[in-house]
Amino acid sequence: MDTSIQKHYSKIRRVLVIVLILNWAVAAAKIIYGFITHCQSMAADGFHSFSDGASNIIGLVGIHLAGQPTDKDHPYGHRKYETLFSLGIAVMLFVVAFNLAKEGLKRIYNPAMPLIDIGSFAVMIVTLAINLYVMQYERRRGIALKSDILVSDAMHTRADILTSLSVIAALVFIKMGFPILDPIVTILISIFIAYAGFEIVKKSSDVLVDSAAILDVNRIEDIVLSVKSVKTCHKIRTRGRPDDIHVDLHVQVSPDMHVDNAHKISYAIEEAIKKGIPEVTDVVVHIEPKRND
């Protein structure tokens, strides 16, 4: 297996392990204190943080599979497993969102008065600070490593930050004498989580159904036209993950060019594109004769 790919997935794995430890520490603090004080929104937010940790485990499994070498049945490699397992994180979010919404509705009809003290606010503020760090760190590394798993997981954590802010607002309202807002905020949390899941599904499905890659087609055309003897370039198509983009295109050359030279031009185009755009891992060039109409 390519050593560079091994190093790539090793870096992603290291980020996921660090984030997993931080997420579960945050989850434990929220859940324990939420149950002690009977604050449903805090406990709900804690279970959401716990699901962040579970999504890290899904990510680790996905990264393990994505890092496998090419074989006879997978000549293009296994990188899309990372995208596929991102959908697993989205499914988890939808399940958690449904359960929290159901629990919130139940609490509206069977209310419980939470015990709110300075400790409640301290737990939420400290865990919020940790989540902010986790989200920024994971998103930054996800963009740098072009990792679907890390970016999706950072979106998961972003939803956790939004819900934590909602819980802090709920604590304020409860302290003011409006405990009914606790289950209402729990329902709002479920909506935030479901929306985060929807964003992950949309991004991952674009890759799996071979939507056009986020790449400037004009940039590819400029690179191709810079290759000697290429007359025109057209029908440029792209697909794949941000770190594994496949390109196919048509170029026109002189109709009397020897097939040997046309073959050399094809290789020159492939090398030029890969050098100019490192994210491109596969290029298919269709050579056509340029006839004067």
Residues 44 and 92 occupy one common structural domain: yes
- Burial track 88-109 (b if 16+ CB lie within 10 A, e otherwise): bbbebbbebbeebbebbeebee
> What is the C-alpha to C-alpha distance for residues 103 and 97, in angstroms, rounded to an integer?
10
Residue where a domain terminates, one of 181, 208, 235? 208
Residues 157 and 267 occupy one common structural domain: no
For residue 96, the model assigns a pLDDT of: 77
Residues 111 and 254 occupy one common structural domain: no
> What is the C-alpha to C-alpha distance for residues 153 and 157, in angstroms, rounded to an integer?
6
Q: Kindly report the backbone phi and psi dihedral angles of residue 162, in degrees, each rounded to the nearest multiple of 5, phi listed first.
A: -60, -40
Residues 184 and 237 occupy one common structural domain: no
Q: How many domains does the chain divide into?
A: 2
For residue 48, the model assigns a pLDDT of: 65
CATH of the domain at 260: 3.30.70.1350
247 token code pair: 């390109």
CATH of the domain at 83: 1.20.1510.10
Residues 84 and 175 occupy one common structural domain: yes
- Are the CB atoms for 189 and 46 separated by under 8 Å? no
Burial of 293 per CB tally in 10 Å (0-12, 13-18, 19+): exposed
> What is the C-alpha to C-alpha distance for residues 9 and 63, in angstroms, rounded to an integer?
7
pLDDT mean values, one per 10 residues, the chain (293 residues):
71 87 81 74 70 76 82 82 84 81 79 64 79 87 84 76 72 73 77 83 84 85 91 91 88 89 92 91 90 66
Residues 272 and 202 occupy one common structural domain: no
Residue where a domain terminates, one of 208, 237, 261? 208
Residue where a domain terminates, one of 208, 238, 267? 208
Domain with 224 in it: 217-289
Residues 195 and 231 occupy one common structural domain: no
Residues 141 and 225 occupy one common structural domain: no
Q: Which residues pair with 251 in a beta bridge?
A: 233, 287
Residues 91 and 222 occupy one common structural domain: no
Residues 88 and 223 occupy one common structural domain: no
For residue 249, the model assigns a pLDDT of: 94
Residues 134 and 243 occupy one common structural domain: no
Residues 161 and 260 occupy one common structural domain: no
